[in-house]
Homo-oligomer: A and B are copies of this chain.
Amino acid sequence: MRVKRISRFEFQLLERFWELGPSSVREVQEALPEEHRPAYTTVQTMIYRLEEKGALRRLKKIGNAHIFEAVLTRTAVHKRLITDLLEMFGGSPTSVMSHLVETGKLTLADIRAIERDLSRRERKS
């Protein structure tokens, strides 16, 4: 089953679940940054929508509150986001890297670290 598209704010909420583990609406809402913290019912609505999309599920009930947990893993969603972006770029990962480098976001040290990591992995397999 192809996972439905996850919006930016939905992604923020999922991050909370990955961070906190199974949580109630209240817990997630309070874990959001104070500066931009939507109303309780706003968070509730988004959580319901994530449930409909199959990204969250109701785990149990504590008191009168439902406890939700993430169905998708952080890694899976991250991959999906990157794959989508890559698709827009005609599937060229090197051009993504070039941009990262050009904006100074990726340093030589970062690249060397990844390279070490990757060559270690290749030797193993």
Residues of chain A at the chain B interface (Cβ within 8 Å): 8, 11, 75, 78-79, 81-83, 85-86, 88-89, 91, 93-103, 105-106, 108, 110-115, 117-119, 122
Q: Cβ of B111 and Cβ of A118 under 8 Å apart?
A: yes
Name A99's closest neighbour in chain B (CB-CB).
B82
Bound form: Cα–Cα A98–B105 in Å? 14
**Chain A interface SS verdict (over half):** helix
Knowing A78-B95, A94-B110, A97-B97, the reply to whether A105 touches B85 (Cβ < 8 A) is no
A115 surroundings in chain B (CB, below 8 A): 108, 111-112, 115
With A79-B99, A82-B103, A94-B106 already in contact, 13 other A-B pairs whose C-beta atoms are closer than 8 Å? A81-B88, A82-B99, A82-B100, A93-B100, A93-B106, A96-B96, A97-B97, A97-B110, A97-B114, A101-B117, A108-B115, A112-B115, A115-B115
Can you offer 12 A-B residue contacts whose CB atoms are under 8 A? Answer: A79-B102, A81-B88, A82-B96, A86-B105, A93-B105, A94-B114, A96-B100, A97-B106, A97-B114, A98-B114, A101-B117, A111-B111
